[in-house]
């Protein structure tokens, strides 16, 4: 599931994210971190869009297969997950290092800085600033990872504990 949250003009901070639309698929505990992250960024005049939250397992499987499997199989998995096919060039890049991601439990989110209504994918300093804000509110930031650096990615610290707990909780309720 992919979301683009469009900020709207309000006071006292210039931007407000429509939380009820985009963050509702997140784990309720993690959601509070993300809300704080967005607020702290806006206090510094940095506006962010949240563009990916909960990722179903079949989507994760398709993304994990990229660069690891032949194009034909990758696109079959993508079709099953409701994703558009990619070409040979696209299949040269790894997009995730995990078969199971914090995204699958609503414990991670991907963001991008936005200026004048456009996502800003470049600008190392601002990415670093955002990453530090993510860390300061108690999350982990993918920009510090070795190997596959993932600057847009922030996730719950020790997310596996929360994933297990919530899974058990759900089993008990059901
Ligand atoms: Zn991510």
Domains parsed from the chain with CATH numbers: 8-55+101-173 (3.30.1380.10), 57-92 (no CATH)
Q: Give 62 Cα–ligand 1 centroid separation in angstroms.
A: 15
Rounded to the nearest angstrom, the distance between the alpha carbon of 103 and the centre of ligand 1 is: 6
* DSSP bridge partners of 140: 155
DSSP class of residue 149 equals -
**Does 12 or 153 have the greater pLDDT score?**
153
What's the whole-number average pLDDT of the chain?
83
**Is pLDDT of 4 > 60?**
no
The span from the CA of 120 to the CA of 132, in Å, is 17
**What is the pLDDT confidence band of residue 163, given thresholds at 50, 70 and 90?**
confident
C-alpha of residue 53 to centroid of ligand 1, in Å: 8
DSSP code at position 89: T
Cβ-contact 85, 79 below 8 angstroms: yes
Residue carrying the six token digits 């990722």: 55
pLDDT above 50 for 83: yes
- Answer yes or no: is pLDDT of 41 > 70: yes
pLDDT exceeds 80 at position 11: no
CA 52 to ligand 1 center in whole angstroms: 7
Distance from the alpha carbon of residue 101 to the mean position of ligand 1, in angstroms = 8
Average pLDDT over residues 52-76: 93
State in Å: Cα 145 to ligand 1 middle. 12
C-alpha span between 59 and 63 (Å, rounded): 6
Mean pLDDT of the 121-142 span:
94
Ranges 1-5, 29-33, 112-116, 128-132: which has the least confidence: 1-5
| pLDDT value, residue 16 | 37
**From the CA of 150, how far away is ligand 1's center (Å)?**
7
Q: Crossing angle for the helix pair 57-65 and 71-80, nearest 10 degrees? A: 170
Ligand 1 centre distance from Cα of residue 154 (Å): 7
Provide DSSP, 18-76.
-HHHHSTTS-HHHHHHHHHHHHHHHHTT--EEEEE----HHHHHHHHHTTTS-HHHHHH
Check whether 45 has a pLDDT greater than 80.
yes
Q: How far is the CA of 115 from the centre of ligand 1 (A)?
A: 21
Residue whose token pair is 């179903």:
56
State the distance from the centre of ligand 1 to the C-alpha of 28, rounded, in angstroms: 17
pLDDT confidence of residue 85:
94
Mean pLDDT, residues 77-103: 91
Q: What is the average per-residue pLDDT within 132-152?
A: 93
């Amino acid at each position: 599931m992919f979301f683009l949250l469009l900020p709207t003009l309000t006071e006292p901070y210039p931007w407000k994210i429509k939380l009820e639309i985009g963050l509702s698929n997140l784990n309720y505990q993690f959601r509070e971190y993300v809300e704080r992250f967005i607020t702290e960024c806006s206090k510094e005049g940095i506006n962010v869009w949240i563009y990916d939250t909960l990722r179903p397992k079949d989507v994760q499987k398709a993304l994990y297969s990229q660069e690891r499997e032949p194009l034909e199989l990758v696109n079959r998995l993508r079709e099953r997950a409701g994703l558009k096919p990619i070409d040979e060039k696209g299949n040269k890049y790894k997009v995730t290092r995990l078969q199971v991601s914090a995204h699958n439990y609503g414990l991670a989110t991907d963001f991008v800085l936005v200026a004048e209504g456009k996502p800003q994918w470049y600008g190392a300093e601002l990415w670093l600033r955002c990453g530090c804000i993510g860390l300061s509110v108690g999350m982990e930031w993918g920009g510090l990872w070795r190997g596959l650096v993932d600057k847009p990615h922030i996730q719950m610290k020790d997310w596996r504990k929360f994933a297990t707990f919530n899974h058990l909780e759900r089993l008990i309720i059901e």
